[in-house]
Amino acid sequence: MTAKIINGQEIAAEIQAEVQEAVEAMQAKYGYVPGLATVLVGEDPASSTYVRMKQKRCAEVGIRSIGHSLPADITQGDLEKVVADLNADPEVNGILVQLPLPSHLDEEAVLNSIDLGKDVDGFHPVNIGRLAMKGRDPLFIPCTPYGVMVLLEKSGTQISGAEAVVLGRSNIVGLPVAMLLQKANATVTICHSRTKDLAAHTRNADIVVAAIGRREMVTGDMLKPGSTVIDVGINQKEDPTKKRGYRLVGDVDFDSAKEVAGAITPVPRGVGPMTIAMLLKNTLHAADLALANN
């Protein structure tokens, strides 16, 4: 059996088109244009690329983006002052502080300083707390986990009652994905680097979300036939046929996994494009909240 390929690029484009339509309607009705502030500290090439991509996609849907590029040696106080100014700026609906921050900075304190109503990344401790609690909902769902849930829904995967295994427990992906799956009534197991027999867990899983950061670690023999596999990993693999000398692969060995799974996301064009699509959606939501509060 060959798995159905879940086309994240196509689904992200649909969401982006919906956001664009809603932004245009907002502008026509209220004369209001949503704004996203991006905060980049230092010059990490991957982070710089991600921020540039986010700004480009904002422009495509008519969201204003306001970019702040700050020096790598900025003080905690100066960074929090930038956030405080953005909190107070009525033209800014969403604030995105690109992570990771340089190690001398206190990430938790910075995330804590973001206005809850502008926390379009969903990383504020209160938003994460609400995500964890029964009967509560966050104002914003973290973008990559949100994208994972949309891909599961669009692929027709039954989440309620499913056995779901999340590989990885990062604050940005693994943990929030596990909480969202649990909210959607899956039975969730979180596996990580100390898990004794990873394959025993994945072989029992109807849904596997791989966000462990290890190249092609999940192979077809570790999967339950017919399961849905969502690959969040982005890793470089040497490939002399490519101009840059490498290609991108996920945490799942796609070739063997697609022979066993029922549905699977590719890398690239799987989860990756969804992260920014959900950020655009969250920024629109933030603008809706701002309008409702005025």
Catalytic residues: 54, 98, 121
- At 165, list the tokens: 């295994």
Position among 53, 70, 99, 184 found at the interface with ligand GUN (CB under 6 A): 99
How many alpha carbons fall within 13 Å on the CB side of residue 63?
Answer: 37
Using the minimum distance from each CB to ligand GUN, give the nearer residue, 172 or 208: 172
**What character string, x for contact with ligand GUN (CB under 6 A) and - otherwise, covers 171-190?**
-x------------------
DSSP 127-167: HHHHHHSTT---SS--HHHHHHHHHHHHTT---TT-EEEEE
Task: Establish if 82 lies at the interface with ligand GUN (CB under 6 A).
Answer: no
Shortest spacing between CB 185 and ligand GUN, in angstroms: 25
Instruction: Pick one of 80, 115, 119, 121: the residue that binds ligand GUN (CB under 6 A).
Output: 121
What's the alpha-carbon Rg for the chain, to the nearest Å? 19
98 binds ligand GUN (CB under 6 A): yes
Distance, CA of 294 to CA of 290 (rounded, Å): 6
Q: Is 119 in the site for ligand GUN (CB under 6 A)?
A: no
Q: Which residue has the tokens 């849904």?
A: 207
Q: How far apart are the first and last CA of the chain?
A: 55
Closest CB to ligand GUN among residues 83, 172: 172
Distance CA 188, CA 161 (A): 10
Closer to ligand GUN by CB, 99 or 198: give it.
99
Positions that interact with ligand GUN (CB under 6 A): 96-99, 121, 143-144, 172, 275
